[in-house]
């Protein structure tokens, strides 16, 4: 078996977003003065990583199985990893990797259900359903597809981590989760632009297909504005320390990515620096917010 090609389907570089979101959830706990349980935090990180791997590998499997992978023009940020078109014999192995990852997520979820009771159930069920239905069903409903990435990385990972570590929900965790919620929605939104034609031919109906890139870019700008409002509101309300305003520093990158989306539309894949700026603003803003909560 070609292990390198199999690991390629996990989309390793994109997995970096997961520990950043888990860190933000843990940072909320630290800012609240609570102690971190090392075992619980480690299981949170493992479960979140496995969920991300499951989504990526199952998406790669479905896109190859449907023929979509053969129709897309790959960029560093869209169009799949290209591992299965180059190694079709790994199709079943990729499927098994995705299902095994989901099994690990389920096992960790059952452990926390035993420890915390029903409070964790909504987050756990939502996470499993999101993994299972992201490619086959979510991508055919434009508004659900628009919001699903932020739900997974923002609400489920950030609030889920905080809940596991503290045993109850907090307003600060909800506010903090909104930052990656809006930004990760934007991340996937722009990454869909280069694949519009191929995705449409494959039967998908995500937001850029249904409403076009002009409207999608307006949604992107609104999400950036809402991110700024959440950070400022968190500081003014006392849920974030004043130092959290440092998380606004990467916002010019979001404006730069937005300008590329407006200028180039579906052709933005030919200008990867805009898509790279979009990735950077998600990572840096979420990371800086987490660090500010720890230090503030």
Q: What are the sequence ranges of the domains in the chain?
A: 10-295
Q: Are 187 and 285 in contact (CB under 8 A)?
A: no
| Whole-prediction pTM | 0.93
Residue 1 above 60 pLDDT? Answer: no
What's the pLDDT score for residue 236?
98
| Residues 95, 52: Cα–Cα separation, whole Å | 14
Q: Are 86 and 78 in contact (CB under 8 A)?
A: no
Give per-residue pLDDT as tens, 121-173: 999 999 889 988 887 788 889 999 999 999 999 999 999 999 999 999 999 99
Confidence of residue 5 (pLDDT cuts 50, 70, 90): confident
**Within a 10 A sphere around the Cβ of 85, how many other Cβ atoms?**
16
Of 245, 123, 105, which Cα lies nearest the Cα of 174? Answer: 123
Of 128, 93, 91, 88, which Cα lies nearest the Cα of 108? Answer: 128
> pLDDT averaged over the chain?
92
**CA 198: distance to chain centroid?**
22
The CA-atom distances, in angstroms, between 227 and each of 21, 145, 157, 187 are 15, 19, 17, 13
Confidence of residue 71 (pLDDT cuts 50, 70, 90): low
The stretch 216-223 carries a mean pLDDT of 98
| Residues 54, 247: Cα–Cα separation, whole Å | 30
Greater model confidence, 62 or 247: 247
Q: Which of 39-53, 124-138, 182-196, 202-216 has the lowest mean pLDDT?
A: 124-138
pLDDT exceeding 90 applies to what percent of the chain? 71
CA-based radius of gyration for the chain: 19
Q: Which of 16-20, 198-202, 209-213, 228-232 has the lowest mean pLDDT?
A: 198-202
What's the pLDDT score for residue 80?
67
The stretch 186-215 carries a mean pLDDT of 91
Q: Which of 76-80, 219-223, 229-233 has the lowest mean pLDDT?
A: 76-80
Residue 271 above 80 pLDDT? Answer: yes
User: What separation, in Å, do the N-terminal and C-terminal C-alpha atoms of the chain show?
Assistant: 49
């Amino acid at each position: 078996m070609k292990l390198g090609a199999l690991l390629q389907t996990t989309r390793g570089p994109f997995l970096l977003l997961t520990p950043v979101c888990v860190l933000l959830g843990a940072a909320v706990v630290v800012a609240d003065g609570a102690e971190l349980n090392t075992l619980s935090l480690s299981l949170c990180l493992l479960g979140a990583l496995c969920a991300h791997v499951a989504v990526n590998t199952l998406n790669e499997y479905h896109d190859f199985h449907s023929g979509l992978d053969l129709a897309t023009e790959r960029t560093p940020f869209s169009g799949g990893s290209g591992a299965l078109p180059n190694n079709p014999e790994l199709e079943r192995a990729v499927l098994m990797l995705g299902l095994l990852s989901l099994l690990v997520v389920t096992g960790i979820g059952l452990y926390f259900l035993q420890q915390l009771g029903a409070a964790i159930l909504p987050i756990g069920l939502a996470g499993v359903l999101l993994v299972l239905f992201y490619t086959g069903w979510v991508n055919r409903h434009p508004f659900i597809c628009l919001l699903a990435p932020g739900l997974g990385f923002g609400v489920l990972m950030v609030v889920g981590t905080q809940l596991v570590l503290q045993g109850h929900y907090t307003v600060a965790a909800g506010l903090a989760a909104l930052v990656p919620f809006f930004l990760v929605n934007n991340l996937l939104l722009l990454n869909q632009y280069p694949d519009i034609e191929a995705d449409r031919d494959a039967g998908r109906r995500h937001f850029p297909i249904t409403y076009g890139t002009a409207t999608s870019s307006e949604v992107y700008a609104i999400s950036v504005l809402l991110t700024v409002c959440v950070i400022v509101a968190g500081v003014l309300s006392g849920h974030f320390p004043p130092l959290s305003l440092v998380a606004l520093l990467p916002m010019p990158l979001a404006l730069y990515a937005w300008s590329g989306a407006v200028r180039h539309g579906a052709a933005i894949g030919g200008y990867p620096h805009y898509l790279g700026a979009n990735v950077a603003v998600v990572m840096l803003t979420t990371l800086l917010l987490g660090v500010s909560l720890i230090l503030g």
